[in-house]
Amino acid sequence: MKYLPLTLWFVILPVAATGGSWTGKSVGGSVSVGQQILTSRPLQAQGPLSRAATITSVVWRIELLSPPPTGLQIKLCAPSFCIPLRDLTGTQQVSVPLSAGNTFRFLYSVNSRGPLMPALQVVSNQLTVNYRAP
């Protein structure tokens, strides 16, 4: 009877989910007129991931050359879903089932009309994707 808890541990252990993360970084671009959309270069895991690996959270860091203009809107987009980002840095839990193997892009736009003074210049985008795989 005293071996039963140990036996259950070995039965449960193989079905436990494993976690991981990957980080990608790219250089930015610029937007000089309001309502234009700047799309970052694609970010994705360096190696293959299980198709069952789903995102639990994302961490991002965006560096601009100058302070963000009024009306700046930033989204982190996978092919089928975009997550609005409120700040230049942050962490957000992901509640929809998104594959950690997706390709991601940052999308920037400024909700204003006419030329931007100064222009929005994105120096770098960094993304860390935390995931769980069964």
In a domain, 113, yes or no: yes
In a domain, 27, yes or no: yes
In a domain, 11, yes or no: no
Confidence of residue 9 (pLDDT cuts 50, 70, 90): very low
Residue range 10-55, pLDDT digits in tens: 444 455 568 899 999 999 899 999 999 999 999 999 999 998 999 9
* Nearest alpha-carbon partner for 85 in 101, 72, 98, 102: 72
In a domain, 9, yes or no: no
In a domain, 6, yes or no: no
By percentage, how much of the chain surpasses pLDDT 70? Answer: 87
In a domain, 80, yes or no: yes
Taken in order 90, 96, 101, 105, the sign of the CA dihedral is negative
Domain count of the chain? 1
User: How many other C-beta atoms lie within 10 A of the C-beta of residue 9?
Assistant: 9
* Average pLDDT along the chain: 89
Confidence of residue 56 (pLDDT cuts 50, 70, 90): very high
- HEC profile of 32-101: EECCCEEECCCECCCCCCCCCCEEEEEEEEEEECCCCCCCEEEEEEECCEEEEECCCEEEEECCCCCECC
Domain interval for residue 121: 17-133
Task: Give the CA distances from residue 76 to residues 12, 45, 111, 128, in Å, rounded to whole numbers and listed in that order.
Answer: 36, 15, 17, 12
In a domain, 90, yes or no: yes
Mean pLDDT of 59-80: 96
Confidence of residue 2 (pLDDT cuts 50, 70, 90): low
Confidence of residue 134 (pLDDT cuts 50, 70, 90): confident
Mean pLDDT of 68-89: 96
CATH number where 84 lies = 2.60.120.260
pLDDT at 17: 67
In a domain, 10, yes or no: no
